[in-house]
Structure 1
Amino acid sequence: MDVLTLLADGMLLSLQPLNLAMILIGVTVGLFIGAMPGLGSVNGVAILLPVTFLVPPGSAIIFLAAIYYGAMYGGAVSSITLGIPGASTAVATTFDGRPLARQGRASLALVTAALASFVGGSVANILFTLFAPVLASVALSFGPPEVFALMLLAFATFVGLGGDDIPKTIFSICFGLVLGAIGFDQISGAPRLVLFDYNGFLQGIGFLVLAIGVYGIGEMLWTIEQTRGDVESNTPKMSIKGMAVDTKEAAKRGWRGTMIGSFLGFFVGVLPAAGATPGSLMSYGVTKMLSRKPDEFGKGAPDGVAAPEAANNSASTGSMLPMLTLGIPGSPTTAILLGGMVIWGLVPGPRLFVDEQEFVWGLIGSFYISNAAALLINLAFIPVFIWMLRMPFTILAPMIFVLSIAGGYAATRDMFDIWLMVVFGIGAFFLRKFDYPLAPAVLAIVLGPIAEPTLRQSLLLSSGDPSIFFTRPIAGPITIVALVLIFLPAVKLLRRGLGRRRKRPAQ
């Protein structure tokens, strides 16, 4: 009851006029920041951090957290309507959100994303409120072997993303891992794979550069090649009745992905330095793996939209937990929030819940209010987002290209990355033309820089003994499950081959 009383007090505090205004402004601004390719929550919070010095510290953090919430919702907008991920957290939403939009079901995709985001945020808020100290201690028990086992599990869930063509999927993953290895070695500091001695490669391949190139420019080139530019909008006009029908269908066809993303996303978000991007990609892979109709994924499955959207919102709340309870940021955005708290004289850690009780519970209460506000504002703007899709393709294609270039430059401010993005777009077009799956490569370039150093740190801890991944109580079960999932497609192929051999004599 003490927790519920404190939460009620915190919600009342967050409903005070100034704090409520900060929530509404922050969520609305965050929605459009998330929808702009290349910006995302990290840049949005960093850019608007100086503005918060005009208000008290509690209201300032509430405002920044509201931007974070809004950006998580907004990332789905450009992923669905334009095929350009608004942020790295929304890349997985593109896999099924964009196909739905091209089928004239953009409203269904946007409603599914909004509802899944709300449920994911709500589940995360409840878990945060009830189990903050326990989950913080669990997060601390995750060392390099446990993190690597988790990354291995993520790769295992994505082995099936390329369909039945396992060799092409493995090639795609390996290609992504190579791209992720470019730059300075995180442990030795030595430069690696600096192609043609270009200094631009020393900073590594930026994930947003790859994502915008593949899903922005590459998608545009693919559409032009397939349709010769003759694309007619088949997007219906929005109405209250239509949104009600979409809401019912989204709840019916997206509930499984929503539940998986809500819980898995929060758990991954709690882990220090993991963040929402791995959580959304893992949730997509697990949802497809557990689906009764996995063949629908990548072609416009509402579950494929719901899983990553629920996960990235849940993970954004989860990443707040280690920041507040341990002083360890769970994502790049929470690292900026941590810096803001220190500037305002608030010291994150176990004592924060005792010394600054009013601030902590006011912030937690604002999570609930921000989540509800983000849902309502997002649903209200869906007709505007649908209107964008009614533009002629002769206008939309140049707009996608300009947004891709502007988004890539805003993220890195480096012309080398812009040329790289164009190369990735052209490369993605040819890979798609030869039926190579792109999603595993995107997963690899996200998780590779996390998996490689944790693998090497683990082997350093065990003096090169790989049994460390099997003997530790948390890493062991995760590693075994991952290996089973990795070899499962090979077993299926073997059984299929044996079945064909048995049928031949009968014929």
Structure 2
Amino acid sequence: MFSGLLEGFQSFFTFDMILLTVVFVVGGYIVGFLPGLTATMAVAILVPLSFSLSAEQGLLILAAVFISAVQGGSVSAILWNTPGTPASAALCFDGYSLTKKGMAGRAIGMAQISAFCGLMVSWLFLVTLSPIIAKFALKFSAPEYFAISVFGLSVVAVLCSDSLLKGVISALLGVLTATIGMDPINGISRYTGDTLILMTGISYVPALIGLFAISEVFRNAGAIIENPAALTHKDGGGKISRILPTMEDIKYSIVTIFRSSLIGTFIGSLPGTGADIASFVSYGEAKRWAKNPDEFGKGDINGVAAPQAGANGVCGGAFIPMLTLGIPGDAVTAIILGALIIWGLQPGPNLFVESSRLVNTLFAGFFVASIVTLLVGLGLANLFVKIDRLPKKYLLPCIFLLCCVGSYAIQNSIFDVFVAFFFGIAGFILTRYGYQGSPFVLGMILGPMIEQNLRRSLIISNNDPLIFFTRPISLTFLFIAIMTFALSVRNQLKKGQI
């Protein structure tokens, strides 16, 4: 393992890789800093650009933007009570309270340190556990992959929506969308309307760009039309005095940071979860374990450290199931998974054998990108505080144009542009009714895996469904999926939400 990691660092330390890391870390940080521009949106737009690079370089820039965007959202949350990304929402409670007390620098500094600790803890788990999981996963066959896919789908359907019913519907719509095209077993066309253009199915990337990027453009455009005054930023001027937290702050928060980093790594490794969930869970646990929980929401520094460490802990954790099992940990790694598939790489245990250099280079790049993100966050804090929000009436058309160009560039097909536009409208409408994009994406990604392995398993067992319950691994994952679903149903019934 260590020799492979050393090889990864040797492959990484070239001028091109270092330059790409610095450039895209800064770019991702700015994306996270600007409210409304999420990490998922940035990665979706960058996917077409990554295809012009080598697989190592393309994967690196996507990971760098992911890491830095999650961390960049903390600045606007602390300064203006406006989370740059959904993962930064929990920072508003205590971060903005500290800003109103004149301690914005203290809050920003603690957020950057906590984020770095979360990244390092998750990186250690990523490096040490991924090869072990991959070796274990080599024993998997069709029933095990089917069970894991169902587990991943059940988790995202339960956790990624306020309403269980809406989460399930969104996930099933994604699965149904994945069935468009050729039958993977019999080679028969399905739901194509007798058109050749749909024979290969709906392409991943245009659909993802539409769901996350174009729909976000529509939402921001709607905000401009409904309330132009809300886009005028009035807070956050001046110079930040102190950035680095004091030793007292570090001692006070070290246990919280470590616990939240572990929580974020664990939540990130669960298929279908995300940084926003991890940040709120970490915040809640920090408050539960606090000596003075009443101080939370009034400017407790642990209220900044906990959610940021948890959110960035997801970054490394989300790569674990994606690389080892081919199941993305969150929406961002779902997009990266789609990019890997288009590159001709199949995430899973064989990836560590057939593309070990790629994996080890990613590990090295993740480590260096984490350090660069910390330096950017600490070094450019004063610069960011002076930046007014870019006028969205100019920014949104540029983003929309990038989406169209990116969708077209994948296969040089105007049809893909219409696909992106369609999913953009669908995502905009569904979000307004409480349906989120993450369950749909996971359904679309896991749909082929569920169908193929279900049918292969039944072929192996001569149509005996007991094959899923007589194999320990598949039985375990199916049991967890059923229990997760059942507990969610029970909890929502108690709350009267069903």
Taking structure 2 as the reference length, the TM-score comes to 0.65
Give the distance between the partners of 2:477 and 2:493, measured in 1 at CA.
25
Residue 129 of structure 2 is aligned to residue 126 of structure 1: no
Match of 1:416 in 2: 415
The code of the aligned residue for 2:208 comes to L
Given that residues 209 and 417 in structure 1 are in contact (C-alpha distance below 8 angstroms), is that contact kept between their aligned partners in structure 2? no
Give the distance between the partners of 1:362 and 1:424, measured in 2 at CA.
34
Shift of 1:159: 3.6
Given that residues 134 and 352 in structure 2 are in contact (C-alpha distance below 8 angstroms), is that contact kept between their aligned partners in structure 1? no
Give the match's secondary structure for 1:444: helix
The code of the aligned residue for 2:220 comes to M
**What is the CA deviation profile of residues 19-48 of structure 1, one whole-angstrom value per residue up to 9, with x for unaligned ones?**
364542131244368668466776555423
Match of 1:48 in 2: 53
Shift of 1:204: 0.8
Shift of 1:49: 2.9
Residue 165 of structure 2 is aligned to residue 167 of structure 1: yes
Match of 1:274 in 2: none
Match of 2:177 in 1: 179
Match of 2:441 in 1: 442
Give the distance between the partners of 1:430 and 1:335, measured in 2 at CA.
29
Give the match's secondary structure for 1:170: helix
Shift of the 287–464 alpha-carbon distance from structure 1 to 2, 3 Å rule, reads farther
The code of the aligned residue for 1:233 comes to H
Given that residues 27 and 65 in structure 2 are in contact (C-alpha distance below 8 angstroms), is that contact kept between their aligned partners in structure 1? yes
**What is the CA deviation profile of residues 238-277 of structure 1, one whole-angstrom value per residue up to 9, with x for unaligned ones?**
8555755799899898866642443565x67xxxxxxxxx
Given that residues 169 and 437 in structure 1 are in contact (C-alpha distance below 8 angstroms), is that contact kept between their aligned partners in structure 2? yes
Residue 393 of structure 2 is aligned to residue 394 of structure 1: yes
Give the distance between the partners of 1:175 and 1:348, measured in 2 at CA.
29
**What is the CA deviation profile of residues 387-433 of structure 1, one whole-angstrom value per residue up to 9, with x for unaligned ones?**
66612343334344334334434455432232333333333333333
Query: Within 5 A, what are the aligned runs for 1:49-88?
Result: 49=54, 66-67=60-61, 69-74=63-68, 76=70
Residue 451 of structure 2 is aligned to residue 452 of structure 1: yes
Give the distance between the partners of 1:490 and 1:219, measured in 2 at CA.
31
Match of 2:209 in 1: 209
Give the match's secondary structure for 1:47: coil
Given that residues 218 and 428 in structure 1 are in contact (C-alpha distance below 8 angstroms), is that contact kept between their aligned partners in structure 2? no
The code of the aligned residue for 1:476 comes to L
Match of 2:403 in 1: 404
Match of 2:19 in 1: 25
Match of 2:134 in 1: 136
Give the distance between the partners of 1:381 and 1:348, measured in 2 at CA.
37
Shift of the 304–437 alpha-carbon distance from structure 1 to 2, 3 Å rule, reads farther
Query: Within 5 A, what are the aligned runs for 1:145-160?
Result: 145-160=143-158
Give the match's secondary structure for 1:422: helix
Taking structure 1 as the reference length, the TM-score comes to 0.64
Runs of 5+ unmatched residues, structure 1: 51-60, 83-92, 269-278, 295-299, 324-329, 340-346, 498-507
Identity %: 22
The code of the aligned residue for 1:126 comes to L
Shift of 1:473: 1.8
Residue correspondences, number: 437
Match of 1:57 in 2: none
Give the distance between the partners of 2:142 and 2:238, measured in 1 at CA.
49
Given that residues 37 and 403 in structure 1 are in contact (C-alpha distance below 8 angstroms), is that contact kept between their aligned partners in structure 2? no
Give the distance between the partners of 1:389 and 1:230, measured in 2 at CA.
13
**What is the CA deviation profile of residues 180-227 of structure 1, one whole-angstrom value per residue up to 9, with x for unaligned ones?**
332333333333222584725743153423333564233224423542
Given that residues 144 and 457 in structure 1 are in contact (C-alpha distance below 8 angstroms), is that contact kept between their aligned partners in structure 2? yes
Query: Within 5 A, what are the aligned runs for 1:463-502?
Result: 463-495=462-494
Give the distance between the partners of 1:409 and 1:252, measured in 2 at CA.
48
Shift of the 49–408 alpha-carbon distance from structure 1 to 2, 3 Å rule, reads same
Give the distance between the partners of 2:64 and 2:216, measured in 1 at CA.
22
Shift of the 404–80 alpha-carbon distance from structure 1 to 2, 3 Å rule, reads farther
The code of the aligned residue for 1:183 comes to G
Shift of 1:482: 1.0
Given that residues 222 and 429 in structure 1 are in contact (C-alpha distance below 8 angstroms), is that contact kept between their aligned partners in structure 2? no
| Cα root mean square deviation, aligned | 5.5
Shift of 1:472: 1.7
Give the match's secondary structure for 1:135: helix
Match of 2:300 in 1: none
Given that residues 215 and 428 in structure 2 are in contact (C-alpha distance below 8 angstroms), is that contact kept between their aligned partners in structure 1? no
Give the match's secondary structure for 1:471: coil
Shift of 1:126: 3.3
Query: Within 5 A, what are the aligned runs for 1:248-259?
Result: 258-259=261-262
Query: Within 5 A, what are the aligned runs for 1:322-333?
Result: none
The code of the aligned residue for 2:458 comes to L
Give the distance between the partners of 2:193 and 2:126, measured in 1 at CA.
45
Shift of 1:134: 3.6
Runs of 5+ unmatched residues, structure 2: 32-40, 77-83, 286-302, 327-335
The code of the aligned residue for 2:372 comes to A
The code of the aligned residue for 1:136 comes to A
Shift of 1:140: 0.8
Give the distance between the partners of 2:257 and 2:54, measured in 1 at CA.
36
